[in-house]
Amino acid sequence: MAKDYTYSTCRDFVSALASSAPAPGGGGAAALVGAVGTALGNMVGALTVGKKKYADVEAEIVALREKCDDLQAALLDQVPADAEGFEPLAQAYGIPRDDPDRARILEEATLTACKAPMRIMELCCEAIEAIAAFAEKGSRLAVSDAGCGAAICKAALLSASLNVFINTKALTDRAAADALNDRANAMLDKYAPLADAVFEKVRAGLR
């Protein structure tokens, strides 16, 4: 079983990323970064709840904070999930080329390796939606953190997508590859611009 680096220090995780070990890699990094970005948005909510000025949106903010708590946990869970999902593929590459089962095992392992980064993308999309609401309705004193969260979650979304695309490129089943690519591209097309819009609105308000 892959080591869960979310229980290590930040320095240990960065050192592991920089090593030649097959995991953690880009997917695990995207998941961790997505959790950090989500938490920044969540902080805006924390600084909004209980303030009289924002009493009319308090119930919505509280609900968004609960959602972000779940998103943060789910994204952190994807750090070891991504490593575990990559293990079968790393092993499959070691199968002798003359083994008649090699192609089938590689195909199955490649599909497995797509699951975690696709889930990371989905979670980042949800986080960007929540951060957009925090930026719009949350405390003006912390709005810069919402902008940071949007930018960071966008980076995580883009990073996770590359971990999908590098695997779909290797699939023999092009119909399955196209379906996965379509899902990933749909998320990029919708949520990367949303994150940009949040960032730019926050940036404009700070000038």
Query: CB-based burial of residue 81 (10 Å sphere; 0-12 exposed, 13-18 middle, 19+ buried)?
Result: buried
Q: Compute φ and ψ for 97, nearest 5 degrees.
A: -65, -20
Question: Is the pTM above the cut of 0.85?
Answer: yes
Q: Compute φ and ψ for 139, nearest 5 degrees.
A: -55, 130
Assess whether pLDDT exceeds 90 at residue 1: no
> Domains of the chain by range and CATH?
23-205 (1.20.120.680)
Q: How confident is the prediction for the chain on average, in pLDDT?
A: 96
| pLDDT for position 202 | 98
Print burial letters for 96-128: b (CB count within 10 Å at least 16), e (below 16).
eeeeeeeeebbbebbbbbbbbbbbbbbbbbbbb
Contacts 24+ apart (CB under 8 A), 109-113: 110/167, 110/170, 110/171, 111/167, 111/171, 111/176, 112/85, 112/88, 113/85, 113/86, 113/88, 113/89, 113/163, 113/167
Predicted confidence (pLDDT) per residue in 70-79, tens digit: 999 999 999 9
Question: pLDDT class for 19, splitting at 50, 70, 90?
Answer: very high
Predicted confidence (pLDDT) per residue in 184-197, tens digit: 999 999 999 999 99
Q: How far apart are CA 130 and CA 67, in angstroms?
A: 8
Q: How far apart are CA 22 and CA 175, in angstroms?
A: 28
